[in-house]
């Protein structure tokens, strides 16, 4: 055997022509993720038979031969190095081993003649770990097959394979048909919103699908708990329940969509997948079901509360909705030492009781709670002196616009001398110096404020006069101050600021 010559070809599953490659000792070692000396010893001791030779007396193996041989020798514990497509078809249904709890996932497990197959179901909490980490949990010795049900859902739910015996290079693609072929069953499927440990643990082969409440990755519990602190017909309770209903309806719709795609897909056969759970229907809900004035009043009252539950609700509301119905919603970080306008604004801030509105900005008890007396907007001061302010969606100003300062944030000065952070919508931010949504929203805001200082922040990014769009897409230096006349001229496309560089000024001199 020592006189034989062997080719070593570097290969990976998925490369073009992979199936037709001729593997020497080194390539077999790379394929199985073992030392070359180990493969040599297998050949030396006739554990790995020489399978093919060519005209030049080169001995070689095909990938299929190597993988089949590996699965036929379970004592070598190589199953965790073989992709699922090479596993043998089941002669009968695989033995169901039950479930295993992982970090933020549950695994359903089956025993086949080739090894244990673990299917990983990430839970409906919106958080996931890496497939490599999960594989190490479910297969600490690196054997068996590990299959992850992913979040991808185009023609049907996708799955990814992982080789626990080759953790540094273990990802590969597979499909439900291969998994069903290896297990000899239609694989049970839980839509993402129904991946709840108790449902997966309770499943047994042959069980009919259960109907269960679809859970969103967003916990609506705090909303319902806070609603319970008000009388049932109180407007604040109705607003809180309405948002909880919307969150849960969205989870139901996502689960129902998955069911429909599975039943209608031309790419999935009934013997590939079977539904393990169906979603319990939840009626639709929308914030427009409640009068907007009533909604704003309700959220104002919740913001003013000082209990921890109200703080949790406000953080949840900001995450789900962005704060559409809040008087001041978007948070902006301001360093008062960076400009005279920031210093002027910061000088009028007053200490106040800490409320849910402050915790929504920065939930840390060691920050100082402040308020802007002109807008009643919440502000917190961090330990390093940085301020985080809730930006009003509209200004309660009594005087018209006098000038606009292109700073961070954009500032407004009214004719009575008061400085204000420019109002902004809960969704669109304000910026300038390029073609994009921020400059588009700023151009619309200028157009509105020239006519009405109490106009709300721009809820769109298109439609401003062309002159204002030119202005806000220009890279104006930070600290640029434009008067009302300047802005009005820009709106009429009669004004465009021109700035000279230091070199140009020297040339003029």
Distance of CA 407 to CAs 338, 371, 417, Å?
A: 10, 21, 17
Residue 119 bridge partners (DSSP): 108, 147
In order, the DSSP letters of 295-338 are: HHHHHHHHHT--SHHHHHHHHHHHHHH-STT-SEEEEEEE-TTS
Choose between 14 and 417: higher pLDDT.
417
Digit-coded pLDDT (tens) for 155-200: 678 899 999 999 998 999 999 999 999 999 999 999 999 999 999 9
Asked whether the predicted pLDDT for residue 501 surpasses 80, the reply is: no
Average pLDDT over residues 377-386: 95
Q: In this structure, what token pair is assigned to residue 393?
A: 């969606």
Length of the chain measured in residues: 509
- Quote the CA–CA distance of 225 and 257 in Å, as a whole number: 29
User: Which tens digit of pLDDT belongs to each residue from 389-427?
Assistant: 999 999 999 999 999 999 989 999 999 999 999 999 999
Spatial distance between the Cα atoms of 51 and 62, rounded to a whole number of angstroms: 9
Give tens-digit pLDDT for 116-152.
999 999 997 656 788 999 999 999 999 999 999 987 7
Instruction: Let me know the angle formed at the C-alpha of 130 by 124 and 131, rounded to the nearest 5 degrees.
Output: 95
pLDDT of residue 110: 98
Q: What confidence tier does 346 reach under pLDDT thresholds 50, 70, 90? A: very high
Domain ranges of the chain: 5-76, 95-210, 397-509
Residue 128 is predicted with a pLDDT of: 77
What average pLDDT does range 212-228 have in this prediction?
95
Structure confidence at residue 363 (pLDDT): 86
Confidence of residue 502 (pLDDT cuts 50, 70, 90): very low
What per-residue confidence (pLDDT) applies to 270? 80
461 or 408, higher pLDDT? 461
The band of 496, judged by pLDDT with boundaries at 50, 70 and 90, is confident
Query: Taking 60 as the threshold, does the pLDDT of residue 13 lie above it?
Result: no
Poorest-confidence range of 114-128, 246-260, 389-403, 481-495?
Answer: 114-128
């Amino acid at each position: 055997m020592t006189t034989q010559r062997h080719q070593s070809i570097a290969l990976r599953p998925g490369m073009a022509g992979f199936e037709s490659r001729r593997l020497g000792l080194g390539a077999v070692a790379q394929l199985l993720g073992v030392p070359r000396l180990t493969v040599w010893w297998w050949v030396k001791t006739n554990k790995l038979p020489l399978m093919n030779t060519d005209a030049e007396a080169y001995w070689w193996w095909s990938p299929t031969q190597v993988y089949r041989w590996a699965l036929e020798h379970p004592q070598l514990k190589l199953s965790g190095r073989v992709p699922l497509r090479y596993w043998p078809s089941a002669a009968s249904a695989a033995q169901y081993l039950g479930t295993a709890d992982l970090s933020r996932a549950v695994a359903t497990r089956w025993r086949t003649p080739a090894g244990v197959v673990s299917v990983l179901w990430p839970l409906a909490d919106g958080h996931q770990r890496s497939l490599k980490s999960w594989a190490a949990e479910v297969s600490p010795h690196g054997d068996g097959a590990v299959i992850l049900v992913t979040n991808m859902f185009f023609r049907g739910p996708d799955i990814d394979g992982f080789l626990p015996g080759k953790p540094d290079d273990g990802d590969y693609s597979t499909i439900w048909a291969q998994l069903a072929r290896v297990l000899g069953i239609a694989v049970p499927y839980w839509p993402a919103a129904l991946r709840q440990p108790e449902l997966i643990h309770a499943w047994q082969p042959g069980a009919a699908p259960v109907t269960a409440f679809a859970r969103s990755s967003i916990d609506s519990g705090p909303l319902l708990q806070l609603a319970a602190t008000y009388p049932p017909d109180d407007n604040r309770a109705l607003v809180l329940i309405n948002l909880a209903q919307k969150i849960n309806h969205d989870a139901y719709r996502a689960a129902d969509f998955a069911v429909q795609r599975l039943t209608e897909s031309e790419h999935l056969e009934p013997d590939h997948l079977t539904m393990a759970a169906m979603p319990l229907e939840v009626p639709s809900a929308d914030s427009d079901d409640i009068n907007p004035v009533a909604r704003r009043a309700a959220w104002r009252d919740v913001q003013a509360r000082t209990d921890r539950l109200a703080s949790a609700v406000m953080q949840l509301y900001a995450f789900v909705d962005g704060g559409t119905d809040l008087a001041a919603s978007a948070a902006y970080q301001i360093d008062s030492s960076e400009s005279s306008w920031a210093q002027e604004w910061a000088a009028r801030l007053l200490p106040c009781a800490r409320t849910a509105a402050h915790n929504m900005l920065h939930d840390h008890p060691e920050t100082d709670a402040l308020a802007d007396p002109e807008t009643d907007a919440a502000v917190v001061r961090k330990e390093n002196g940085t301020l985080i302010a809730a930006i009003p969606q509209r200004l309660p100003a009594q005087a018209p616009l006098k000038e606009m300062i292109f700073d961070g944030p954009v500032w407004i000065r009214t004719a009575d001398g008061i400085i204000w952070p420019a109002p902004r919508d809960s969704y669109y931010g304000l910026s300038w110096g390029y073609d994009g949504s921020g400059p588009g929203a700023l151009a619309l805001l200028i157009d509105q404020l020239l006519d009405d200082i109490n106009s709300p922040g721009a809820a769109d990014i298109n439609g401003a006069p062309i002159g204002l769009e030119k202005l806000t897409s220009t890279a104006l230096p930070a600290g640029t101050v434009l008067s009302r006349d300047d802005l009005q001229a820009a709106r009429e496309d009669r004004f465009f600021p021109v700035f000279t560089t230091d070199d140009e000024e020297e040339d003029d001199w």
